[in-house]
Each structure stands twice: as C-alpha cells, then as structure tokens.
Chain A
C-alpha cells in the first residue's frame, strides 16, 4: 500500500525550531518529487516546499524561504522539513504529498507556535 506518514509536530515557542519527518512506503521514493503543504486552522492549503529528485532542485514559498529547509534520505525513504525561526503564523497542519500532482497525501502533523 502506498503510504505517507508524517511525524514531529508539536508545540514550540516563537523563534524556536522543529523538524518534521515524512516516512514513505509502497513506492520507489527516490524517483518522485516530494512536497510539503500546510493548512492553518480554518484556512486553505498553502504550498510550502518541493524537492525535485530528478535534479535535486529545491523550491520554497516566499513565506518560509530562509527559515525552512527541505531534505530527503533515500536510504530511509524519508522526507524532512527543518523549521527554524518559527512564527505564530507558521501554526498549521503540515502534510507531505507525493509527486508533481500531489497524488498521495499523509494524514498531517500539527505544529503550534505559541508562547
């Protein structure tokens, strides 16, 4: 079964850091572009970052550029998002999604930035 499972969310103070993980199974992880998408409470979907496995190209939304870092570990079939200098407006459910069509999504992990 094709599956994505996020972990690592939690409560963090403004200015703090958090590292999210996304464990992939049921497909050849290294051949797919992988993405992070977030959804603030009661709001719409917001694309955060993409990792293009074909050429190792990385893209970030302007709202997180310079603060968040996307990475992958093909040996562990895992995608990561290192989030630094967190702000209240980063509070959201964070999803990982597969491919340029975002065809498979994880269940999400909640990140709350609050003092």
Chain B
C-alpha cells in the first residue's frame, strides 16, 4: 500500500523557520495537501495543491514541491503554530487517499 513519510517531530524557537517534509513516490504526479490539528480539534487545511494557501491562513505558511517530496514551511513561527501537521495525497491511480503519519511541531 502507498505511504507518505513525515518526520515524527520538529522543534523550533519562536521567530525561526520550521520546515516539515512529506515524501512519497507518487508526489511528482499527485498534489500534496497539509493540515494543522490542535488537541481536541478537527484538522484545518493550511496548504493545498502543493503551494496554494487557503484564505484565512497566515502568509507565514508556504508550501513547495520537489520530486518525491513536498514541504510545508512556516516562517517566523509563533507559539500558536504548535500543533500536529499532516500531509495528504493520492496514489498513482488517484483512487486511494493517504495521510502521512503526522509531525508534531513544538515551539520551544
């Protein structure tokens, strides 16, 4: 079965830049999406189609894609950005969706 691989954790100090990666063999052909989830809350879409930011998401969130990896970058990290982040994409057939295992972002 298809898998997306994320680092389990990323830690940064306030004001620094956090980069969270997501790797998968089909990512050159399928878009990546990113979700932020805070404890006890439903996920929120923070990036779609690799690098498009939904309305209402701060400009410090950006996305990029290169080969088999998509990256979510948070510039000037704030304490409120501490959360779990999940990537999502589809397999080569575009039939099956999959989520990465999630990355816990800790703001030191």
Contacts and interface: CB of A to CB of B under 8 A. Distances in A.
Contacts, number: 49
Majority SS at the chain B contact face: strand
Interface in A93-108: 95, 97, 101-108
A59 B35 CA distance: 21
B14 interface: no
Interface stretch (B44-52, B60-68, B74-82): B44-52
Contact of A44 (B33, B54, B101): B101
B97 A47 contact: yes
Given A45-B35, A45-B86, A102-B35, A35 B97 contact: yes
Which 6 residue pairs of A and B lie closest in terms of their CB atoms, listed nearest first?
A47-B97, A44-B102, A105-B42, A45-B99, A101-B48, A103-B45
Interface of B: 1, 33, 35, 37, 42-45, 48-49, 54, 84, 86, 88, 95-102
Interface of A: 35, 37, 44-47, 50, 59, 61-62, 95, 97, 101-108
